[in-house]
A and B are shown apart, each in its own frame.
Chain A
């Protein structure tokens, strides 16, 4: 059983289960519309907060509004994609406690795909939409001398960022196997991470920035590559080419998260909890 067929099986199972959740949510048609709208409003609010701040000041940590909108748009769009795909992995702990996780283990499909598709909800498109709108506005407003590498870096950032956040979701899920009431810890890293990245690195302490670069490499979602695009100094001393390292970082994160998941699943199957 090769990795490739496992991947294909996983995607297939993911599609099937996500489809079931979409149909489930459609059975409450009104509430579906309400939640999509509500989701757009809520996620939109934090950008409104940034706008309000800029009605008082001209720059934040030395960054202009369009530049911050650029960071914000990248972070929220990338996170939104990961959140749409894997956003409900924080219910894993609850599933283990109530025993419904065992049901997933007797189905002929990869467990990670089943857990990832759990509670799949299209209302999460709201966040992606909102992030994309802000990003679009930022792209036409920032004062950048666009070159081919810079232009290419934008979609690369979104895709790599989504992959990095996805890895955080999966690693968080693996962590929940060991600490089943740790959904909040996972949320701190995912939601906390995306909020952090909405602000320029210059407003944070060096230690935090270093941690977010080398330990939990969220800086590669936007801080480092965005600094290159905007022609700003990197958040910390790094060679020029690291702006293009996001895909590599993403692959490494996914591999590590996959390993963590495997370790977690093996542990569950030996401890039963």
Chain B
């Protein structure tokens, strides 16, 4: 039985080392430390990153009914010539608005979808060609779906993973114990999944994706719909997973807090195109960020005539919002408004990453 499997996973490349094959997982002398450290010492080609995309594209043919008997065929370029590399142990945020192409990218990285063009490698494997072999080495969590068995106690789903992934017994117990502790699942193991809250189920799903020691964890919108407490638990766990076990993490989200709290590196995607790839801090510069002055006037008035580059960006009754460069002082602007308008109250808002990105999108759209 085990022979089939090791034939499938072991033969191919040495770079994966002891930690990938289900059989070899425990053989490392360091035991629990057999994560990425072991793999790096393997004979991997130096210049090949763990995840590599080269001009990857995904084009969907969409047929839409436009009227009686009329159909319109249209091509949607969900992912448009994207290239990036992710090294082992990185934690990367993949962000963008709805429909940007995040899920499509994840689906190509996991072998669910075949790219229309370009070259894609994960741990040296072409995901669309070697889907099952890759499956042993990756973990995937889809925020809105579950891999857990609705009517059965949570632990039953884990037992299925144990057997389906052929995780050695000792390894399975060790991993399960650790995940139960870190994700606070102790009281939930015997509870049928249908009785779990969304946050509990998400934690349960994350554990299910990690039992087989994947080298990379993909999460597609892992915090969507979660309450604040669950969100922070999930984030805390991911941080620990990444720092302690060195698991590579790639998460998509449209919740920028996820990124601000977790990822040093951010990739921004919109309309299928990679618009930014770099450190989180750099995003502000890339977006030429602005601060916002919120003024409350005595009554409703036409937009304030502010000196450029400051300008009114929004009016709502007596309240107006003015944007001005983050690098400039607010004082002259405030003085001028106070002198010429019936001012009641004001406040200054620092640029948030959300606004930065919104601005970035706006600029690309007009460019």
Contacts and interface: CB of A to CB of B under 8 A. Distances in A.
How large, as a class, is the contact surface on chain B? Answer: 35 or more
Contacts of B104: 272
B136 A108 contact: yes
B156 A272 contact: no
A20 B160 CA distance: 8
Interface residues of A, number: 29
Interface string B3-21: 0100110000000000000
A62 interface: no
B152 A24 contact: yes
Given A108-B164, A109-B132, A20 B149 contact: yes
Given A106-B112, A271-B61, A20 B164 contact: no
A192 interface: no
Interface string A1-30: 100010011001100110010011001100
Contacts of B111: 105-106
Interface stretch (A66-74, A76-84, A96-104, A177-185): A96-104
A102 B7 CA distance: 26
B132 A108 contact: yes
A99 B61 CA distance: 18
A99 B132 contact: no
A105 B156 CA distance: 20
B160 A16 contact: yes
Contacts, number: 77
Contact of A23 (B116, B136, B156): B156
A106 B104 CA distance: 14
B131 interface: yes
Contact of A103 (B114, B128, B147): B147
B356 interface: no
A25 to B, nearest CB: 8
Interface in A253-273: 266, 269-272
B154 to A, nearest CB: 13
Contact of B145 (A23, A100, A269): A100
A105 B165 contact: no
Interface string A84-112: 00000000000000111011011111100
Given A103-B147, A105-B131, A109-B132, A9 B4 contact: yes
Contacts of A5: 4, 7-8
Nearest to B137: A108
Most chain-A Cβ atoms within 10 A of its Cβ — which of B131, B132, B146?
A: B132
Nearest to B192: A27
Interface in B291-333: none
B33 to A, nearest CB: 25
B131 A24 contact: no
Interface in B82-134: 104, 107, 110-114, 116, 128, 131-133
Contacts of B48: none
Contacts of B135: 106-108
B341 interface: no
A110 B4 CA distance: 14
B256 to A, nearest CB: 24
Nearest to B9: A108
A271 B160 contact: no
B112 A270 contact: no
B74 to A, nearest CB: 14
B60 A102 contact: no
Contacts of B163: 16
Given A8-B4, A269-B128, A102 B142 contact: yes
Contacts of A110: 132
A204 B146 CA distance: 48
B144 interface: yes
A5 B60 CA distance: 34
Interface string B165-178: 10000000000000
A201 B300 CA distance: 85
Contact of A102 (B107, B128, B151): B107
B140 interface: yes
Contacts of B144: 99
Contacts of B113: 269-270, 272
A103 B160 contact: no
A34 B110 CA distance: 42
A271 B164 contact: no
B222 to A, nearest CB: 15
Given A24-B149, A27-B192, A109-B132, A102 B160 contact: no
14 contacts: A1-B8, A9-B4, A16-B160, A20-B152, A20-B160, A23-B156, A99-B145, A103-B142, A103-B146, A106-B112, A106-B140, A108-B164, A266-B114, A269-B128
Closest 8 CB pairs of A and B: A108-B135, A24-B151, A105-B112, A106-B140, A5-B4, A108-B132, A27-B151, A269-B114
